[in-house]
Chain A
Amino acid sequence: MSGTDASRRRFLAGTAAAAAGLAVAPGVLLMPLAQARRAGEPASSDVRWGLLVDTTRCSDGCDACVRACKEENGWEGVGRPKTDAQWIRKVKVRDPRTGHTQSLPLMCQHCKHPPCVDVCPTGASMKRADGIVLVDKHICIGCRYCMMACPYSARSFVHEDVRDQREHAPRGKGTVESCTLCVHRVDAGRVPACVEACAAEGGGALVFGDLKDPSSEISRRLAAHGAEEIRADLGLDTGVRYYGI
């Protein structure tokens, strides 16, 4: 009898611990990444948000990051691939000499010297003090010069009426948009939706954090293993870095 009770207690305790662990783990994992900003408090240049993509953990068939971003930011298309927006996409890279292939997500690279911000006539394209590159939808006139200037095709033009907008990710027909690094989440102390989805469903290839904080995971990983920028030759100092390319 008591043996049975003891075994049942052990089982229950184990399950509870596992459940608690599962529930708490993401929070524990993510807690040191970001601290919430109070409403009205300006972004600080003491941090520079960045993203590390470990391409060795990114698989060709997986698009968890893309699906999560679509869901989070509400840019599901209407079935017109040439004009539908894409804030993030999976790109397959193949070396024709060796046949070596890789897969990686590509989105706004949140450059330190963003060409889109340079060319924007009204200042709608802008870089926050913490390095996040955004479009102010209220003063974008839809000239698309930023799209001409972006070396990564990271931006989309909203070609038609938009439906089911998310409250935190306003969109507008006739304006330009792109990855916001989930600024609404970052400001609330959370990580971008793609990072969360990659950890949960994908290969855990994405690491988000403060590039200026040497103790952050992203900084430690960059220091230990290094990473590359796409089109590093352009000298844009991107906030998104790729390991294994």
Chain B
Amino acid sequence: MKPHVHFREIEGRSPGYYALLGLLGLLVGAGLVSALYMEIEGHWVTGMNNRIVWGTPHVFAVFLIVAASGALNVASIASVFGRLQYKPLAPLSGLLAIALLVGGLAVLVLDLGRPDRLIVAMTHYNFKSIFAWNIFLYTGFMAIVAAYLWTMMDRMGRPYSKPVGLLAFVWRLILTTGTGSIFGWLVARQAYDAAIMAPMFIVFSFAYGLAIFLLVLLAAYGWTGRPLGEGLLRRLKNLLGIFVAASLYFVTVYHLTNLYAAEHTGVERFILLEGGIYTALFWLGQVVAGYLLPMAIVFSPLGRSRGWIATAAGLVVLGGLAQMYVTIIGGQAYPLILFPGKEVSSSFFDGVVADYAPSLPEVLLGVGGIAIALLAVAVAVRVLRFLPEDLRDELVEAQAAAGGGDGSGTAGGERSGGAAPEAAAAPGSAG
């Protein structure tokens, strides 16, 4: 019998597994209690105010939503771009995409002024609003990725894997375009109002999604003791380095473009030089921790160590949160330009940098969103066959050479017939 990749549920009986579930459950609970507190008391108990209307919950929510679309990339690389070595990772990639999106949307919804009116958002639409489009883009994404998972994990679905994978890939590009355009289309604010926001967010999503994917993969295989090949990790960490470099490129172009226009030098001076916490978070958080250190790690001999790969991925996540903080909160903190060239002042804090400090309930709500995503993944890999039992390089390569193991990864659409044992969760294929 030819070697092939088997999928199997994790055992999930160890004290460590239950401790993980307990910890994540606690964080989810803390997030929900925070949301309830904010709703009952009103938003005055948070750091948000009439100048900083989107605060820390949005930093986490937008990060998770952007990362969600990026987490799907691993699956897309296999089924859209035909790199079959990534195929055994595709189910986890789809699972993470859905879980991260659910986590992000939960935070976004629970931070609404009237979360109890969510049904209104489902029954009243203004189709000129990107938010309204996003309601369809997000729910559509979940449905399409769920279908995509079905094509990977059920024999009946396999023939549809390629078209559904392509649809999911196109959909995720549109989705992140929508997320970036939430900011890019805001004409009023100096830090936004830029077409580059949409493609920049897409590139960010590649990096953030892959970083979280790597962390979850390393944790899952490390904690369950399942073999994970060095070659596979090398590909993934190199890809992460490329995505991070591309993010740095987009950020550089964005700032250079703004610096060139006299009308934007004020906001650039604020973010790059004089913005206090925002300047510190930009340079130390986004650039050094988020871009330079991860690239230095993955492209140096350090990148051979799993610990360092995890460190690099963790830094990309922290850099991503810093980027969202600078973009979302820094972008609001810089005052609106009411009268170009004039100084303005008022009782409503016109003309001055807005005050904002994250409050505990906001942070707990944001962390709760991450916990929702991770809890969903932890439970899903316990009850369904998302994770290959063995990801040694020779197995992965042999299966890729044989055409990927099933229909979902074949670049030219050709199926490998007899050389394709049931890789996914077909009954009886595992254990």
Interface residue ranges, A against B (CB under 8 Å): 80-86, 89-97, 106, 115, 117-124, 139-145, 147-153, 155-161, 172-176, 230-231, 234, 245
Which among A83, A95, A245 is the interface contact of B49 at CB below 8 angstroms? A83
Considering the complex, give the chain B residue whose CB is closest to the CB of A147: B53
In this assembly, does B274 line the interface, its C-beta being within 8 Å of a C-beta of chain A? no
Q: How far is the CA of A158 from the CA of B48 in the complex (A)?
A: 12
Q: List 17 A-B contacts (CB under 8 A).
A: A80-B44, A90-B347, A91-B345, A97-B341, A115-B186, A115-B188, A118-B129, A121-B125, A121-B131, A122-B125, A123-B126, A151-B188, A157-B53, A159-B44, A160-B42, A174-B113, A230-B338
Q: How far is the CA of A156 from the CA of B42 in the complex (A)?
A: 13
A83 and B50 contacting across the interface, CB-CB below 8 Å: yes
Which among A89, A96, A118, A140 is the interface contact of B113 at CB below 8 angstroms? A140
Which among A91, A122, A141, A151 is the interface contact of B344 at CB below 8 angstroms? A91
In this assembly, does B11 line the interface, its C-beta being within 8 Å of a C-beta of chain A? no
Chain A residues, Cβ within 8 Å of B115 = 141
A148 and B336 contacting across the interface, CB-CB below 8 Å: no
A173 and B42 contacting across the interface, CB-CB below 8 Å: yes
Residue-wise interface mask of B (113-155) relative to A, using a CB-CB cutoff of 8 A (1 in contact, 0 not): 1110110110011101111101100000000000000000000
Chain A residues, Cβ within 8 Å of B346 = 89-92, 106
Give the A-B pair count, Cβ closer than 8 A.
173
Chain B residues, Cβ within 8 Å of A175 = 113-114
In this assembly, does B9 line the interface, its C-beta being within 8 Å of a C-beta of chain A? no
Distance of A227 from chain B, by nearest CB (Å): 15
B345 and A156 contacting across the interface, CB-CB below 8 Å: no
A245 and B54 contacting across the interface, CB-CB below 8 Å: no
Q: How far is the CA of A118 from the CA of B181 in the complex (A)?
A: 13
5 closest Cβ contacts across the A-B interface?
A: A142-B113, A174-B113, A121-B131, A160-B42, A151-B188
Q: How far is the CA of A153 from the CA of B188 in the complex (A)?
A: 10
Considering the complex, give the chain B residue whose CB is closest to the CB of A175: B113
A123 and B347 contacting across the interface, CB-CB below 8 Å: no
Known: A120-B126, A160-B41, A160-B44. A140 touches B114 (CB 8 A): yes
Chain A residues, Cβ within 8 Å of B83 = none
Residue-wise interface mask of B (350-372) relative to A, using a CB-CB cutoff of 8 A (1 in contact, 0 not): 10000100000000000000000
Please classify the interface of chain A as helix (H, G, I), strand (E, B), loop, or mixed, using the class held by over half of its residues.
Answer: loop
Considering the complex, give the chain A residue whose CB is closest to the CB of B47: A82
A95 and B342 contacting across the interface, CB-CB below 8 Å: yes
Distance of A147 from chain B, by nearest CB (Å): 4
Distance of B138 from chain A, by nearest CB (Å): 12
Residue-wise interface mask of B (192-213) relative to A, using a CB-CB cutoff of 8 A (1 in contact, 0 not): 0000000000000000000000
B188 and A149 contacting across the interface, CB-CB below 8 Å: yes
Q: How far is the CA of A155 from the CA of B39 in the complex (A)?
A: 20
Q: How far is the CA of A143 from the CA of B58 in the complex (A)?
A: 11
Residue-wise interface mask of B (325-356) relative to A, using a CB-CB cutoff of 8 A (1 in contact, 0 not): 00000001000111101111111111000010
A86 and B50 contacting across the interface, CB-CB below 8 Å: yes
In this assembly, does B304 line the interface, its C-beta being within 8 Å of a C-beta of chain A? no
Chain B residues, Cβ within 8 Å of A92 = 344-346
Known: A83-B50, A119-B131. A245 touches B339 (CB 8 A): yes
Q: How far is the CA of A79 from the CA of B155 in the complex (A)?
A: 65
Q: Interface centre among A140, A143, A161, by most B CB within 10 Å?
A: A143
Q: How far is the CA of A115 from the CA of B121 in the complex (A)?
A: 19
Distance of A149 from chain B, by nearest CB (Å): 6
A96 and B348 contacting across the interface, CB-CB below 8 Å: no
